[in-house]
């Protein structure tokens, strides 16, 4: 959510920021709506003031025996009272219309975000690791994994497309990856582990900018709750409506949860395999910080996500997203893309975003700086540390052997009960 005052103060600059994202200018329309609402608010205040003045004058006139004046004033007060409900209703409707209009406007990118239209304009910041060399033609995970316990057919039979049933050591490896991620983020990177609800109210989705714009991308239950598309929603919204103590910041939260996405905007993409599922697990990272700390926290969060890939010895590259490829609520985003030998391509496995005070304004999440009577909005950041299913895919493709088996990364040994290799089953 944007601060209407910043639009009033610099409408040209606001539209210029939107233009960097390829968005249409909106300041003129927003300010016209704002001016109409403010004019109506002024009219209401004047009416209320006149009603109070006239009410007092009635008593004075009655005390002086001026019945005619008192009757005229009574009629005026009655008319004001009759007119006010319509004015109040109109003011409320205009306020809601303004809020809705503001809620549909994407965040403004930071100045150091590269200009661009789509993913082809993203900038590689760094790369890590050596791509594995094979003495055979590497396969995609969808060709290797069924013999190892990744059952696409049963998943589809039970739930339809984009659902998968994992069995045996494949299921254990999937669980091990998630547990390893959470343990690393809590023990080494200072995140507090949480177990949040995966069903949330409208307010939580709205506060984390998933509503109203992206309603079709999520699943809604018949009792009007939402299945979270990411634990970012639950973790970030946990401070909704709060004034946080200065000493409690930064807050760093992590959770390993099921996530649910309708993938409405991804029709026809990654329909084969385990890359894009309706139900998946993710280790989410959320930071809630003071405004002056958010840029440094963004770099810290990025390193926390990178560390998981490095521990698993998975080659990856870090991409700074351009203005045209960033998410709706982000001011700056880094993507981590892991190397998949079977596809011969890098694929996204984590996004780490700084949203500034965009979500905090929607949630009314604030803090009171030490020694100050005024409150300020916090800054919120979110990232994947990592997406478990995509990490499983990367382990399969990078660890594949000529006989169809897959080597388990050494760092997962404590979680695998002595299993060092996934073997094909008859």
**Residue positions annotated with a catalytic role:** 261, 276, 348, 351, 390
Q: Which two tokens stand for residue 192?
A: 């507090």
The CA–CA distances, whole Å, from 78 to 54, 81, 175, 186 equal 10, 5, 70, 65
Question: What are the tokens at 424?
Answer: 């094909």
**R_g (Cα) of the chain, nearest Å:** 28
Angle at 128 between CA 126 and CA 129, to 5 degrees: 160
- At which residue do the structure tokens 């329909």 appear? 271
Instruction: Output the CA–CA distances (angstroms, integers) from residue 178 to 52, 141, 236, 290, in the order listed.
Output: 64, 19, 20, 29
For the chain, helix (H) and strand (E) counts, in that order, are 13, 18
Tell me, letter by letter, the H, E, C secondary structure of 316-381: EEEEECCCCCCCCCCCEEEEEEEEECCCCEEEEEEEEEECCCHHHHHHCCEEECCCCCCCEECEEE
3-state secondary structure of 410: helix
For residue 162, CA distances in Å to 12, 177, 274, 386, 402 come to 44, 21, 8, 20, 28
Cβ-count burial 413-423 (b if 16+ within 10 Å, e if not): eebbeebeebe
Residue 1 burial (CB < 10 Å; 0-12/13-18/19+)? buried
Give the span between the Cα atoms of 282 and 19, in whole angstroms.
33
The secondary structure of residue 293, as a DSSP letter, is: G
End-to-end CA separation in angstroms for the chain: 55
Other Cβ atoms closer than 10 A to 13: 13
Q: Give 383's strand partners.
A: 285, 352
Cα separation, 356 vs 269, whole angstroms: 31
Rounded to an integer, what distance in angstroms lies between the CA atom of residue 259 and that of residue 247? Answer: 32
């Amino acid at each position: 959510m944007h601060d209407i005052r910043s639009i009033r103060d610099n409408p040209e600059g606001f539209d210029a920021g939107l233009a960097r994202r390829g968005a249409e200018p909106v300041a003129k329309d927003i300010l016209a709506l704002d001016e109409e609402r403010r004019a109506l608010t002024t009219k209401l205040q004047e009416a209320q003031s006149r009603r109070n003045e006239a009410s007092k004058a009635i008593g004075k006139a009655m005390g002086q025996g001026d019945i005619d004046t008192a009757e005229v004033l009574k009629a005026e007060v009655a008319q004001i009272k009759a007119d006010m409900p319509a004015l109040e209703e109109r003011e409320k409707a205009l306020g809601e219309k303004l809020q809705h209009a503001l809620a549909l406007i994407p965040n403004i990118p930071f100045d150091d975000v590269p200009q661009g239209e789509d993913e082809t304009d993203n900038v590689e910041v760094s790369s890590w690791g050596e791509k594995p060399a094979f003495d055979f033609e590497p396969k995609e995970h969808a060709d290797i994994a069924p013999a190892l316990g990744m059952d696409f057919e049963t998943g589809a039979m039970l739930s339809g497309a984009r659902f998968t049933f994992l069995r045996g050591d494949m299921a254990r490896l999937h669980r091990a990856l998630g547990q390893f991620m959470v343990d690393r983020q809590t023990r080494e990177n200072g995140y507090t582990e949480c177990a949040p609800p995966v069903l949330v109210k409208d307010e939580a989705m709205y506060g984390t900018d998933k509503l109203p714009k992206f309603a079709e991308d999520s699943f809604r239950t018949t009792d009007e709750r939402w299945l979270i598309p990411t634990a970012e929603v639950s973790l970030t919204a946990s401070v909704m409506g709060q004034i946080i103590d200065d000493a409690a910041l930064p807050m760093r939260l992590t959770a390993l949860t099921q996530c649910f996405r309708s993938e409405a905007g991804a029709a026809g993409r990654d329909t084969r395999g385990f890359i894009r599922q309706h139900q998946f697990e993710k280790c989410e990272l959320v930071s809630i910080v003071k405004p002056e700390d958010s840029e440094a926290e963004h770099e810290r969060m990025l390193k926390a996500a990178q560390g998981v890939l490095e521990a698993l010895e998975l080659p990856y590259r870090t991409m700074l997203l351009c203005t045209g490829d960033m998410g709706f609520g982000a001011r700056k985003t880094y993507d981590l893309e892991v190397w998949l030998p079977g596809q011969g391509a890098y694929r996204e496995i984590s996004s780490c975003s700084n949203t500034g005070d965009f979500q905090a304004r929607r949630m009314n999440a604030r803090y009171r700086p030490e020694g100050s009577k005024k409150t300020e909005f916090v800054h919120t950041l979110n990232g994947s540390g990592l997406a478990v299913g995509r990490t499983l895919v990367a382990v399969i493709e990078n660890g594949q052997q000529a006989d169809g088996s897959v080597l388990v990364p050494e760092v997962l040994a404590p979680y695998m009960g002595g299993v060092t290799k996934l073997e094909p089953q008859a």
